[in-house]
Structure 1
């Protein structure tokens, strides 16, 4: 059972990365939170410490205090060929504390839906992933769902962008490409909106819930690059037909799936009003706040 004081909540964050760090800023600013975060990098551990997080080196760091005090668990670490790394390493420990947790969140991907040729998908759409990454995510969702007593919430994230993760640098350098595949659309989500959805779910737990995290405007990727160039006052990169584009297998695999992701549930069930309802709003904010990303 979790042993924290009723006045204090403790988040144990596995794979404490980009989205988890955004959530942590909200929680620590609100007060009453302690956050433990795992990382494989000693250098990153020191960065996290500077952000108010208690870092734990993965997988060999001492996790006893974090496990004993956790009231909330967030899993950002992705699966690999061997399955989910967190469950592989400490399934028994997670199962032991599960009944005492108030909330557990698993960050998945909209890739679990597979290709829908531009049609809409919602949380109840059958999971038919067409990539190996998507198949591993489906398996990981099921594995976490099988942990007895775990108050699990699954968040299926669209393409993430935000500070440090935007198109401006490539546009400035002249390396951005507007690859065009007819009918191709992607959904996106700004990291600030990921953080606010997670915080809203923590405030309103609903174990077993699944949420799509994306903005209101699925759009062709070439449109995003063009808008970024316009904001910078730079020439819009020329279009490159998909079948002529030189791309890595990983990059090409993203174009194997096209879908529009419905985000109605986060609005209806969690009362979310998106900070950045489309990529135009998000890119303008990035440029204003940090001079680019």
Structure 2
């Protein structure tokens, strides 16, 4: 994939990524830090990270001297690993290292808009009540609180980013259509927000430049019915969209079905007003258009 920016390398940024996945890679390409250390649980992914210039650390919850040293020398820490019923997988291992990281300037925690739960289609901003309906949302909310509390204890600005449904190169409706896996499930009144991965990177960079202990919704401008997005992608590809399937008749995993039990319209006003973020892909239409026109929608980072 091509780089997201021609901006100069951030020579003062020593980035550590806890759970170095899709969003972290987009952020790295934008920030261009002087050094990067990232964790993964897979040897194959570790090799891929190494090839992309990331010093990889295999991590399965145990203490790691390599990770400990990296954290103590970090200037920026991005957390994108999901918690489980035992809590955040990193906090209990590296908390002491974070307390002895004198150059640490910023912590970013990637969460999800799923922490809000169902709001019956109402608009939610960062002040909205959180009542997640699934265990994973409860765990996320607890992890948000734990990282925020840690940031206060060590006096490092800690930003929580609640991400909408992520799409981008290699993860989009074109890929699903080509693989024959796209579905047009119709549930009246159902809408979802989305966010292009490159706009996640831009939002993280804006926070780095204006560090604050805040919660930010990272979502596009237009929540839309999922079947509408699939139909739009099919039109761009020049193929017939899959048939509409009523929600009650759809074959869905329990997790996928739970997503349809939550309806909300996520406001992104705070990232626009406080961080000055201008989304490159304000709706799914701009995002899909850009992916299709680039011809690189199959590629990933």
Q: Which range is displaced more, 279-288 or 85-94?
A: 85-94
Query: Which residue in the other structure is 2:229 paired with?
Result: 224
- Asked if the contact 1:158–1:214 (Cα under 8 Å) also holds between the matched residues in 2, the reply is yes
Q: Counterpart of 2:277?
A: 272
Gaps of 5+ in 2: 1-9
**Residues 1:20 and 2:24 are matched in the alignment:** yes
DSSP-derived class of the 2:90 partner: helix
1:211 corresponding residue in structure 2: 216
Q: Does 1:103 align with 2:111?
A: no
**What corresponds to 2:127 in structure 1?**
124
- Counterpart of 2:6? none
1:163 equivalent in structure 2: 169
Q: Which residue of 2 aligns with 1:188?
A: 194
State which of 242, 246, 251 in structure 1 corresponds to 2:251: 246
1:92 to 79, 86, 96: 96
TM-score w.r.t. length of structure 1: 0.92
Q: CA deviation at 1:182?
A: 0.8
Give the secondary structure class of the aligned counterpart of 2:257. helix
Q: In the TM superposition, what whole-angstrom CA distance separates every residue of 1:97-135 from its partner, at most 9, and x where no partner exists?
A: 3x6421000000001111011110001111111121111
RMSD over aligned Cα, in angstroms? 1.6
Secondary structure, counterpart of 1:12 in structure 2? strand
Q: CA deviation at 1:49?
A: 1.6
Q: How many residues align?
A: 283
Q: Tell me how far apart the structure 2 counterparts of residues 83 and 65 of structure 1 sit (CA, whole Å).
A: 23
Residue number among 138, 143, 151 corresponding to 1:140 in the alignment: 143
**Contact residue 12 and residue 74 of structure 1 kept, 8 A:** yes
* CA displacement 1:181-218 (0-9 Å, x = unmatched): 11101000000000000011111111x21110011010
Alpha carbons 1:163, 1:290 under 8 Å: kept: no
Does residue 179 (structure 1) correspond to residue 185 (structure 2)? The answer is yes
- The equivalent residue for 2:72 is 68
For residues 176 and 54 of structure 1, the distance between their equivalents in structure 2, rounded to whole angstroms, comes to: 36
